[in-house]
Amino acid sequence: MIVKNIVEPLVWETLGKVLNSKPEACRCEKCQADMAAYALNKLPPKYVVSRKGEIIARAVSLDNKYNIAVLVAVTEAVEIVSRKPRHDD
């Protein structure tokens, strides 16, 4: 059995959508990872228990309020990271 934070795949999916609406934002691997980490630190995790390998991201339905919180956190993450990208380090 594994314990998995289902917010993580949701953040990555939302990040893809937000980046599509912000063509000026950097899409390099480093910036995208920084954006996802920033958003995940802002959001309360939601853990589920699953058998190894089982696809669970869709199994748990998150309420609409939580989906909006994810969108807000990801949008903020894109703005913050775009202002100070760390991809030159």
- For Zn ion, the binding residues (CB under 5 A) are 26, 28, 31, 85, 87
* Minimum CB–partner distance for residue 17 and Zn ion (Å): 18
Residue closer to Zn ion by CB (options 63, 89) is: 89
In contact, 74 and 25? CB cutoff 8 Å: no
Burial class (CB in 10 A: 0-12, 13-18, 19+), 5: middle
Residue 17 vs 27, nearer CB to Zn ion: 27
Residue 43 C-beta: closest distance to Zn ion, Å:
22
Nearer to Zn ion, 7 or 78 (CB): 78
Name every residue whose Cβ is closer than 8 Å to that of residue 36 and which is 6 or more positions away in sequence: 8, 11, 12, 15, 77
